[in-house]
């Protein structure tokens, strides 16, 4: 596990690199938000990042996010949590309750579940449509050829104040740049502002292609432990 000072130092380094990449792309650094991906890391690491000024976090699993984050909102009311992992419909209600944004809307059944959950919870987080730009069989994300229709349907159903943009995870064995370009072009075509792409290994390239959210985990928190955290203090 990384120490708090190494997490603070890593955050400073990543923020500097984000600013430099934005500047190189002729964009204001304020146009790129850093999502600190804390999955599998203990709540103590999240607290270290909060103390270093980081406010926006990403988690893959709803259960792990629910164990780590809600209690922190008392001390850090401006904390924001994004769910970035593939979402099962039976987790939709919990996700709607705890998240500020769900980045992985990718199928009509999940839209239905989120709409029902929003009725029950009385709130609905922002949504990003996840696009499977590599058309990989196993991966979450709407398939490329169905993406335009699904984005239109999602916008019609939830409105542009809720459906804010697009997210992708390029195939790990390919040059990510064409995938980043595809996603940014698609977002632009639909008039969507938020483009979530780029991870520890490639966030600078993503910014060059127009990312407005980069999701960085291991470059901040170090190598991931082998299992998720299911209790706040780590189990
Ligand atoms: C784990 C994860 C990340 C962060 O990956 P790193 O390589 O550790 O930066 C980003 N996005 C998603 C969807 C993830 O699951």
pLDDT mean by block of 10 residues, the chain; 235 residues: 88 98 96 98 97 98 97 97 98 98 98 98 98 91 97 98 98 96 98 98 98 98 86 55
**Ligand 1 binding site (Cβ under 6 Å of any ligand atom):** 37, 39, 60, 84-85, 169, 199-201, 215-219
pLDDT of residue 1: 56
How far, in Å, CA of 108 to CA of 37, rounded? 26
pTM comes to: 0.96
Residue 137: per-residue pLDDT = 86
CA 216–ligand 1 middle distance (angstroms): 6
Q: State which of 14, 49, 58 you would mutate to test the pocket of ligand 1, scoring each by most atoms of that ligand within 8 A of its C-beta.
A: 58
pLDDT at 139: 86
Cα separation, 194 vs 187, whole angstroms: 8
Degrees (nearest 5) of the Cα angle 10, 66, 133?
A: 65
- Give CA separation, 136 vs 51, 59, 141, 158, 205, in Å: 38, 22, 9, 27, 21
Residue whose CB lies within 8 A of the most ligand 1 atoms, among 18, 41, 199, for a mutation test: 199
């Amino acid at each position: 596990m990384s120490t708090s000072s190494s997490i603070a130092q890593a955050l400073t380094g990543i923020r500097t690199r984000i600013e430099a990449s934005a500047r190189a792309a002729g964009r204001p650094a304020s146009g790129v938000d850093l999502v600190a991906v804390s999955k599998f890391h203990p709540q103590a690491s999240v607290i270290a990042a909060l103390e270093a000024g980081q406010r926006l976090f990403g988690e893959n699993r709803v259960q792990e996010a629910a164990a780590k984050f809600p209690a922190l909102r008392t001390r850090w009311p401006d904390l924001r949590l994004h769910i970035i992992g593939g979402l099962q419909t039976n987790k939709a209600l919990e996700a709607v309750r705890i998240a500020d944004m769900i980045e992985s809307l990718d199928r009509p059944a999940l839209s239905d579940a989120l709409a029902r959950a929003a009725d029950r919870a009385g709130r609905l987080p922002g949504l990003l449509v996840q696009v499977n730009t590599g058309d990989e069989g196993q991966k979450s994300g709407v398939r490329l050829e169905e993406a335009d229709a699904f984005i239109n349907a999602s916008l019609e159903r939830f409105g542009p104040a809720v459906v804010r943009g697009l997210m992708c995870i390029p195939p790990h064995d390919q040059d990510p740049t064409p995938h980043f370009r595809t996603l940014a072009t698609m977002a632009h075509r639909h008039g969507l502002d938020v483009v979530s792409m780029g991870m520890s290994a490639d966030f600078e390239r993503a910014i060059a292609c127009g990312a407005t959210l980069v999701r960085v985990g291991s470059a901040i928190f170090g190598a991931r432990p082998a299992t998720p955290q299911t209790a706040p203090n780590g189990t």
